[in-house]
Amino acid sequence: MTKRTPLFDEHVRLGARMVDFAGWEMPLHYGSQLEEHKHVREAAGMFDVSHMTIGDLSGPDARALLRRLLANDVDRLVPGRALYSCMLNERGGVIDDLIVYRLHKEGSYRLITNAATRDKDVAWIRRQAEGAGAARFDVREDCVLLAVQGPEARQTVCDLLDDDAAKAAAWMLAPFHAAVIGSLFISRTGYTGEDGFEIMAPAAEAPALWRSLLKSGVKPCGLGARDTLRLEAGLALYGQDMDEDTTPLEAGLAWTVAWRPADRDFIGRAVLEDMRASRHRHSIGLLLRDKGILRAHQKVYAGDREVGEITSGSYSPTLQCAIAMARVSEELEGHCTVDVRGRRLEATVVAPPFVRHGKACVAVPAVPAI
Partner 1 sequence: MSEIPADLRFTSTHEWIEDEGDGTVRVGITDHAQSLLGDMVYVELPEVGRVVVAGEECAVVESVKAASDVYSPIAGEIVEVNELLTEGPDLVNKDPYGEGWLFRVQIAEGGDLSGLLDADGYAEAIAAEEA
Residues that bind partner 1 (CB under 8 A): 17, 28-29, 32-34, 224, 228, 291-293, 314-315, 341
Q: Which is nearer to partner 1, 144 or 340 (CB)?
A: 340
**How far is Cα 146 from Cα 208, in angstroms, rounded to an integer?**
12
8-state DSSP, 77? P
**How far is Cα 202 from Cα 205, in angstroms, rounded to an integer?**
6
**How far is Cα 10 from Cα 214, in angstroms, rounded to an integer?**
11
- Rounded to the nearest whole angstrom, what is the least distance from the CB of residue 240 to partner 1 in the complex? 15
Q: Which is nearer to partner 1, 40 or 206 (CB)?
A: 40
Q: Which is nearer to partner 1, 239 or 292 (CB)?
A: 292
Q: Are the C-beta atoms of 26 and 18 separated by less than 8 Å?
A: yes
Residue 248: name the closest of 84, 46, 21 by CA: 84
Residue 238: name the closest of 128, 119, 87 by CA: 87
Q: Which is nearer to partner 1, 182 or 292 (CB)?
A: 292
- Order of all β-strands in the sheet with 45-48: 178-181, 184-187, 196-202, 143-149, 45-48, 219-220
Reading phi first (left if > 0) and then psi (alpha if -120 to 50, else beta), residue 297 is in left
- Rounded to the nearest whole angstrom, what is the least distance from the CB of residue 18 to partner 1 in the complex? 13
**How far is Cα 65 from Cα 125, in angstroms, rounded to an integer?**
9
Q: Are the C-beta atoms of 121 and 87 separated by less than 8 Å?
A: yes
**How far is Cα 65 from Cα 133, in angstroms, rounded to an integer?**
8
Cβ-Cβ contacts under 8 Å for 350 (sequence gap 6 or more): 284, 285, 286, 287, 362
Q: Which is nearer to partner 1, 247 or 314 (CB)?
A: 314
- Rounded to the nearest whole angstrom, what is the least distance from the CB of residue 9 to partner 1 in the complex? 20
Determine how many CB atoms are found less than 10 A away from the CB of residue 256: 17
Cβ-Cβ contacts under 8 Å for 241 (sequence gap 6 or more): 251, 252, 283, 311, 312, 325, 327
- The three-class DSSP label of residue 91 is coil
- Rounded to the nearest whole angstrom, what is the least distance from the CB of residue 183 to partner 1 in the complex? 36
Q: Which is nearer to partner 1, 260 or 341 (CB)?
A: 341
- Rounded to the nearest whole angstrom, what is the least distance from the CB of residue 291 to partner 1 in the complex? 5
Q: Which is nearer to partner 1, 192 or 228 (CB)?
A: 228
- Rounded to the nearest whole angstrom, what is the least distance from the CB of residue 32 to partner 1 in the complex? 6
Q: Which is nearer to partner 1, 33 or 283 (CB)?
A: 33
- Rounded to the nearest whole angstrom, what is the least distance from the CB of residue 64 to partner 1 in the complex? 45
Q: Are the C-beta atoms of 6 and 48 separated by less than 8 Å?
A: no
Q: Which is nearer to partner 1, 34 or 64 (CB)?
A: 34
- Rounded to the nearest whole angstrom, what is the least distance from the CB of residue 37 to partner 1 in the complex? 9
- Rounded to the nearest whole angstrom, what is the least distance from the CB of residue 31 to partner 1 in the complex? 10
